[in-house]
Amino acid sequence: MTTGVPIGKAAKRSGVKVPTIRYYEQIGLLTAPARSDGNRRHYDASDLHRLSFIRHARELGFEIDAIRTLLALQDDPNQPCATADGIAKARLADVEQRIRSLSALKTELQAMIEGCSHGRVAACRVIEVLADHGQCLHAGH
Amino acid sequence: MTTGVPIGKAAKRSGVKVPTIRYYEQIGLLTAPARSDGNRRHYDASDLHRLSFIRHARELGFEIDAIRTLLALQDDPNQPCATADGIAKARLADVEQRIRSLSALKTELQAMIEGCSHGRVAACRVIEVLADHGQCLHAGH
DNA sequence: CTACATCCTCTAGCAACTAGAGGAGCAAGC
DNA sequence: GCTTGCTCCTCTAGTTGCTAGAGGATGTAG
Structural domains of chain A sorted by starting position, each given as residue range(s) with its CATH number in brackets:
5-79 (1.10.1660.10)
Q: Which nucleotides of D are covered by protein (CB under 7 A)?
A: 7-11, 16-21, 25-27
Which residue of B lies nearest to A141 if distances are taken between CA atoms? B59
* DSSP secondary structure of A69-120: HHHHHHT-TTSBTHHHHHHHHHHHHHHHHHHHHHHHHHHHHHHHHHH--SSB
Between B51 and B106, whose confidence is greater? B51
Helix axes B82-115, B64-75, angle to 10 degrees: 150
Cβ pair A88, B106 in contact under 8 A: no
Residue B112 C-alpha, separation from nearest chain A C-alpha, in angstroms: 8
Torsional sign, CA A91, A94, A98, A100: positive
Question: What's the pLDDT score for residue A93?
Answer: 84
Q: What tens digit of pLDDT does each residue of A49-62 get?
A: 999 989 988 887 88
What pLDDT does A134 receive?
A: 55
Q: What's the pLDDT tens digit per position in B34-80?
A: 999 899 999 999 999 899 989 988 887 788 988 888 888 777 766 67
